[in-house]
Amino acid sequence: MGSYNYYKMFGCFNRKFKISESEPPPDVKGAFRRYAEGAVHMKADQLLKFLVEYQGEHGCTIADAEAIIQHVCHHRHHNTKRHGLTLEDFFHFLFQDDLNGPINSQVHHDMTAPLQHYFIYTGHNSYLTGNQLSSDCSETPIIKSLENGVRGIELDLWPNSGKDNVHVLHGRTLTTPVPLIKCLKSIKEHAFVKSPYPVIVTLEDHLTPELQAKVAGMVTQVFGDMLYCPESGCMEEFPSPEALKHKIILSTKPPKEYLGTNNNKDGEMSSSMEKDSSDEDISVLEPDDKSDSDQEEEDSDINQQKSGNLASPEYKRLIAIHAGNAKKGLRHALRSTVDRAKRLSLSEQELEKAASLYTKDVVRFSQKNILRVFPKGTRVTSSNFRPITGWMHGAQMVAFNMQGYGKSLWMMHGMFRSNGGCGYVKKPDLLMKRGPNNEVFDPKLPIPVRQTLKVTVYMGDGWRLDFSHTHFDSFSPPDFYTKIYIIGVTGDAAKRKTRIIGDDWTPYWDEEFTFPLRVPELALLRIEVREHDISDKDDFGGQTCLPVSELRSGIRSVPLYDKKGHKFKSVRLLMQFQFE
């Protein structure tokens, strides 16, 4: 073996274990000197002054500062009683995301506005474990979603093979069914583990009236007093999340009450059997175009026609949020002024078309009603679309495949880290306001810069603890860099990246980036660390997505997550956020 190869295999091999001791960045040292007033220890009153003045935490008290000191000293000095922080203690505190995280971890939005004033964390085909065509249906992904704070669960209801019970499955596919009763019991047991705010169960119903009556019995028996049923049968305005705490709400298209099944002289369905657009397709297709959802709607109508003239009154009574239809066209549905609040569903392509042709109508509609957007049918791998278009037009329920890991789902995770992760995020006022001439927010119009965000990426740490020493490179420490993205309205979109720091498990960048923002209320900050590889695709080193409107100013510890959105135990960045 040549000396070069020997050195590469054995000499360089030891380099991968080399860990350089990280020093506090100059900004951290400067803040410590300033607030400790040149002393070796920063006392509680000095730390409080730092928290209020530098970090902008105006609600902090001397007791909070003392608690931080005790926590840090207990962790670092093994119960030794201390009354102040050294520079190293102070640095340690700033790098702990549980003590000094980038966003507020508590519910802090006004929760007393009507339901349509909130973005709602919503799942699509919530029972699927994998792809849309052949994966198993199970209660497990429903449980997982609820435990992660999802507040909108979707179930597709179909008759079983004996036509005497109800299964949940993705119709006309090879997905294996799960009994409805299992799903209902799982929802009841896990609905409020993560959040006390209401769970909306949207049903896509392909049942006969007899089976609808059976569903009504199951729902009443399983949910009991947890089920919200409006006294009037339909609501003029939705209640607030606060008023609906610990309630489960059903939403679907109310069954039609058929008055007759006579065909007209041309053999067409009578007026009582006119086809509505289904919950899954408020169609903007050409007249001769028929989607799968149109076909499902016809099947549902035919099932009910064969079963008799009356829908199930018990089932209808339990539907709190009525799903509307657009049989007179999407524009008419968006502009119609009815007394009761309703919900409409659009596919991602339909939303794009509606947003292009009827931008202001979509925004106005979502000020009074609930708009749901779901992935197009060709996303058979359970991938997702970019959610920002839905949000900037006021769509409350942007429904995602929660098993569809990728950048779009990271954005969804980021949005719903807002407001303490409770699953409800108050829509910005600009989406709810109307001007004197009934004008509303139009995301297509040019908007002046209203705020500037400065982001400093100081350094990172934790990979040496969460990854094997050969994960990134067999012979040397990793070469990390950080990418920063702004996701928002068109004028706010931006992308930056730091330089590559070679051969270091604790990379130190200390680079500042400036982002002018037109609509900061709808902007997300996406952060991704990658490891540079000369000969192959750069390796993934962690990611997070944070709502700009929730960012806490000052020097903050930013925890990173894996590709599936699970938080790493140790990997984090030290960053600073400043608003001007």
**Residue 346, domain CATH:** 3.20.20.190
Q: Given the DSSP bridges, would you call strands 152-159 and 199-205 parallel, antiparallel or unpaired?
A: parallel
Q: Spell 29-43 as b/e; 16+ CB within 10 A means b.
A: eebbeebbeeeeebb
Residues 397 and 533 reside in one and the same domain: no
What span, in angstroms and rounded, lies between the C-alpha atoms of 566 and 32? Answer: 33
> What mean pLDDT do residues 459-482 have?
95
What are 118's two structure tokens?
A: 């909130």
pLDDT at 14: 54
Nearest-CA neighbor of 156 among 347, 361, 296, 306?
296
Evaluate whether residue 101 is within a structural domain: no
Residues 417 and 348 reside in one and the same domain: yes
265 band by pLDDT with thresholds 50, 70 and 90: very low
pLDDT above 70: percentage of residues in the chain:
86
Among 64, 94, 124, residue at a domain's last position: 94
Q: 50-60: per-residue pLDDT in tens?
A: 999 999 999 99
Nearest-CA neighbor of 445 among 522, 518, 371, 368?
518
> What mean pLDDT do residues 183-189 have?
98
Residue 297 vs residue 135, higher pLDDT: 135
Nearest-CA neighbor of 342 among 578, 40, 116, 504?
116
What are 296's two structure tokens?
A: 């499902």
What span, in angstroms and rounded, lies between the C-alpha atoms of 235 and 226? Answer: 18
417 band by pLDDT with thresholds 50, 70 and 90: very high
Residues 493 and 427 reside in one and the same domain: no
Please identify which residue in the block is written with the tokens 């009991």: 224
Question: Domain range holding 455?
Answer: 448-579
Residues 345 and 243 reside in one and the same domain: yes
Is the confidence at residue 258, as pLDDT, over 60?
no
Evaluate whether residue 179 is within a structural domain: yes
Evaluate whether residue 439 is within a structural domain: no
15 band by pLDDT with thresholds 50, 70 and 90: low
Among 48, 64, 94, residue at a domain's last position: 94
273 band by pLDDT with thresholds 50, 70 and 90: very low
Residues 336 and 243 reside in one and the same domain: yes
Is the confidence at residue 1, as pLDDT, over 60?
no
Residues 409 and 316 reside in one and the same domain: yes
Least confident of 11-15, 118-122, 363-367, 450-454: 11-15
Residues 84 and 135 reside in one and the same domain: no
Is the confidence at residue 12, as pLDDT, over 60?
no
* Helix and strand element counts for the chain (H, E): 18, 22
Evaluate whether residue 526 is within a structural domain: yes
Residues 460 and 547 reside in one and the same domain: yes
Active site residue 322: no
Residues 127 and 38 reside in one and the same domain: no
Evaluate whether residue 287 is within a structural domain: yes
Active site residue 124: yes
What span, in angstroms and rounded, lies between the C-alpha atoms of 411 and 389? Answer: 12
Residue tagged active-site, from 109, 117, 124, 393: 124
Helix (H, G, I), strand (E, B), or coil: what is residue 14?
A: helix
Residue 549 vs residue 262, higher pLDDT: 549
- Number of domains within the chain: 3
Contact 443, 393 (CB under 8 A): yes
What span, in angstroms and rounded, lies between the C-alpha atoms of 63 and 60? Answer: 8
Nearest-CA neighbor of 424 among 241, 153, 201?
241
pLDDT at 233: 64
Evaluate whether residue 482 is within a structural domain: yes
Beta strands in 366-507 (DSSP E): 370-374, 397-400, 424-426, 451-461, 480-487, 494-497
What span, in angstroms and rounded, lies between the C-alpha atoms of 187 and 201? Answer: 9
- Reported as type and span, the H/E element at residue 413 is helix 407-415
What are 149's two structure tokens?
A: 């704070």
pLDDT at 278: 38
Among 94, 128, 147, residue at a domain's last position: 94
What are 62's two structure tokens?
A: 């001397």
Helix (H, G, I), strand (E, B), or coil: what is residue 486?
A: strand
> What mean pLDDT do residues 90-95 have?
97
Average pLDDT, the chain: 88
Least confident of 310-314, 351-355, 503-507: 310-314
Residues 216 and 313 reside in one and the same domain: yes
> What mean pLDDT do residues 509-532 have?
98
What span, in angstroms and rounded, lies between the C-alpha atoms of 501 and 478? Answer: 8
Whole-angstrom distance between the N-terminal and C-terminal Cα of the chain?
61
- Which domain CATH number covers 467? 2.60.40.150
Residues 200 and 311 reside in one and the same domain: yes
Sheet of strand 524-531: strand arrangement = 494-497, 480-487, 524-531, 539-547, 554-561, 567-579, 451-461, 508-517
18 band by pLDDT with thresholds 50, 70 and 90: low
What span, in angstroms and rounded, lies between the C-alpha atoms of 529 and 170? Answer: 37
What span, in angstroms and rounded, lies between the C-alpha atoms of 360 and 152? Answer: 26
What are 151's two structure tokens?
A: 């507040």
Contact 280, 330 (CB under 8 A): no
- Which domain CATH number covers 73? 1.10.238
Nearest-CA neighbor of 413 among 201, 540, 247, 567?
567
- Reported as type and span, the H/E element at residue 357 is helix 348-357
What span, in angstroms and rounded, lies between the C-alpha atoms of 454 and 290? Answer: 49
Residues 425 and 458 reside in one and the same domain: no
pLDDT at 7: 41
Against a cut of 0.85, is the pTM above it?
A: yes
Evaluate whether residue 4 is within a structural domain: no
Contact 261, 305 (CB under 8 A): yes
> What mean pLDDT do residues 541-569 have?
98
pLDDT at 504: 96
Evaluate whether residue 13 is within a structural domain: no
pLDDT at 413: 98
Residue tagged active-site, from 109, 117, 170, 322: 170
Helix (H, G, I), strand (E, B), or coil: what is residue 481?
A: strand
pLDDT at 10: 47
Is the confidence at residue 329, as pLDDT, over 90?
no
Helix (H, G, I), strand (E, B), or coil: what is residue 307?
A: helix
